[in-house]
Chains A and B, each alone.
Chain A
Amino acid sequence: MDVGWLERLSLFRFALLASFTAGLVCPLVGAFLWLRRTSFYGITLPQFSAAGVVLGYVVLPWWIAAVGLGGLSLDEALGDPHTIMNYLLAWAALACLAGLSALVWLGRGGRGSETGRVAAAFALATAATYVFGRLSPVGQSHVEELLHGEVLGVGSHECETIVAVLLAVLALLVVFRRELALVSFDREFARVLGKRVLALEILLHCLCTLTVAAGTIIVGPTMLFGLLVLPPLAARPFARSMGAFLLLSSAAGLLAALLGTTLSFQADLPLGAAIVAAAGLTLLPGALRRATT
């Protein structure tokens, strides 16, 4: 290994740790979205979160004047990565939760076209992101970074935040995986068993919201799209049980993060996009299997 690699690994260690954790955990959330036939939420929800982040910048001057942000002035808040990230994380989570709740509410009872609703939501959230971006008097560079999915700028605080959030999501998914699978597979049987179906669905939505909000703000919507959607698709042809499906999804995500990092460093490509491209490569074994059977 040459020195350049070691230097890069050291320089971008926070970005890499954030990417690998996202590669490990995001596919698990994506697997549940896929099971519930809501994979496209994996594309739309990050866009809601992105709109929420940009809206957070739009209202930031007013917020500091009217509500306050730890007693900081606007310039001080913008210069304090901890404060501004926590503030934006709250906006990202709020927007994601609002979008998710709207999609679930509009789709209750199986009425209308799910695909149509998700497509319309994606279009509106994307437009809102750009409109808010135009209106925002501050944070232009961060908004542009966010929209381009620049992961390498992740610092220690962002890294700590995403790792903590995603590990908490991972722990809850592992503990509740059986009941979440039950309510996704056979909601009525769960009700007959006396399970708190609504509480379990709210838990799943909250885990999804946390993952998407933290993921969007730190690794960007592009990488999040890819890690939520592609690894579960890569895992499905080889999974003969739920346990195997979750493990393979996570393994495919981690493999994509490793391959993507290598690709990014070798070919000097943006890290987020390289990880998504690598996640695309993990689809090949399944496609080959289907073609030959």
Chain B
Amino acid sequence: MSATPRPPLVRLSAAAFGYGARRIVEAVELELEAGRFLGIVGPNGAGKTTLFRGILGLVPPLAGTCRREPGVVFGYVPQRESLEATFPLSVREVVEMGAYHRLGRLRRPGAADLALVDEWIERVGLGARRTAPFAELSGGQRQRALLARALVTRPDVLLLDEPTSGVDRGAQEQILALLAELHRGGLAILLVSHQLALVRRFVEEVLVVADGRVWRGPPQELLAPERMELLFGAGAGAE
């Protein structure tokens, strides 16, 4: 007896996303299946983040449909610049937020969730800094703390918005190596990045967002240097 194929975690059909009446991306057809590793790339202002926010349900579709499979948990890693750095939160408090959809009696996280928080803090390499203020971390450390927070949600799909932006080379490699490991463990990952070379190395498929449209295909094809130069300008393909 063959196993019933699992429905896509997210399915976009003729979807358009934008702000107000203005459509930034349209006619998007996308099925995000369990265990896939997808990258979203495109020139600045093309609508990568808008599409990403649409998939997360943070902006409603202006046309078409965006269906998220009921019960699917999204692990969201926002751009760290979008967060208020002066907040007096410790690393542990930030990571613990990933368990806030499972709060128990008196709105407190349970013992299993607290253990999970500690486990992910260790695994992202912040064990020695768990009580440090989040605001005092370097860019790469903050990114890892936000990644740990997303993983504490016990996600079915991990969505990351520019996780390696403004992060030094060593931290980039650490983050991407962890993502590759998580993907090998069966986690679906959707990654927005403008760093084409990194995306090309790690993802299985790419969504190229340009001129309000979205193309999906293998990175070898869609991120070929000559194609990238057309989209991003001279030199982009060699990035």
Query: Which residues of A come within 8 Å of B, CB atoms?
Result: 35, 37, 175-176, 178-179, 181-182, 184-186, 188-195, 236, 239-245
Bound complex: CA A74 to CA B108 (Å)? 49
Within 8 A of A (CB), among B56-79: 56-58, 74, 76, 78
Contacts of A195 in B (CB 8 A): 100-101
Which residues of chain A are near B149, meaning CB under 8 Å?
189
The answer to whether B76 and A192 have CB atoms under 8 Å apart is yes
B188 to chain A, nearest CB (A): 15
Give bound CA distance, A195 to B98, whole Å.
11
With both beta carbons as reference points, the residue of chain A lying nearest to B56 in the complex is identified as: A192
CB neighbors of A among B74-112 (8 A): 74, 76, 78, 82-84, 87-90, 92-94, 96-97, 100-101, 103, 106-109
Using C-beta atoms within 8 Å of the partner chain, give the interface range for chain B. 20 to 34
Q: How far apart are B219's CB and chain A's nearest CB, in angstroms?
A: 27
Is there an interface contact between B93 and A242, defined as CB atoms closer than 8 Å? yes
Q: B78–A240 contact, CB under 8 A?
A: no
Report yes or no: B89 in contact with A181, Cβ–Cβ below 8 A: yes
A-side contacts of B195, CB under 8 Å: none
- Cross-interface CB contact of B78 among A35, A188, A239, cutoff 8 Å: A188
Q: How far is the CB of A184 from chain B (nearest CB, A)?
A: 8
Q: Are B107 and A175 in contact (CB under 8 A)?
A: yes
Chain B residue nearest to A246 in the complex (CB):
B88
Which residues of chain A have C-beta atoms less than 8 A from B131's C-beta?
240-241
B153 interface residue (CB < 8 Å to A) = yes
Say yes or no: A240-B83 contact (C-beta < 8 A), given A188-B76, A192-B57: no
Residues of A contacting B: mostly: helix
Instruction: Tell whether A185 pairs with B106 under 8 Å between CB atoms, given A192-B76, A193-B153.
Output: no
Q: Which of B56, B93, B109 lies at the interface centre, i.e. has the most chain A CB atoms within 10 A of its CB?
A: B93
Note all chain B residues with C-beta closer than 8 A to A193.
Answer: 100-101, 153
Q: With A and B bound together, what is the CA distance between A7 and B96 in angstroms?
A: 50
Asked, given contacts A185-B83, A240-B132, whether A179 binds B103 with beta carbons under 8 Å apart, the answer is yes
Note all chain B residues with C-beta closer than 8 A to A236.
88
Select B58's contact among A176, A184, A188, beta carbons within 8 Å.
Answer: A188
Whether B88 lies near A194 (C-beta < 8 A) is no
Cβ of B57: which chain A residues have Cβ within 8 Å of it?
191-192
CB pairs A–B below 8 angstroms (13 shown): A175-B106, A178-B97, A181-B93, A184-B87, A185-B84, A186-B97, A192-B58, A193-B101, A193-B153, A241-B88, A241-B90, A241-B133, A245-B88
Complexed CA–CA distance, A242 and B108 (Å): 15
